[in-house]
Amino acid sequence: YVGEDAEVNFASLQNFEGDVHSTLNRRCVAQKDARMNWTIGHIGGGTTRSRVESVLNGPGAAAEDV
């Protein structure tokens, strides 16, 4: 949850062994004039399913996925 006029910077780097299978879900709700910045990296592993969802719940709300 990103409140009105707030900013959140989220960074994650996962380094999985070769036999790891992962499912990752991340979600945020950004209110009026809020900003959510996602920086996510996955290295290695067998298979990875990654989902990022940003709900923009007001004017001026923004999200960036790098």
Cα separation, 10 vs 33, whole angstroms: 18
Residue 63's pLDDT is: 98
Asked whether the beta carbons of 30 and 56 are under 8 A apart, the reply is yes
Residue 19's pLDDT is: 92
Percent with pLDDT over 70 in the chain: 100
State the burial class of residue 2 (Cβ atoms within 10 Å of its Cβ: 0-12, 13-18, 19+): buried
pTM summary value: 0.86
pLDDT digits (tens, 9 = 90+) for 22-47: 999 999 999 999 999 999 999 999 99
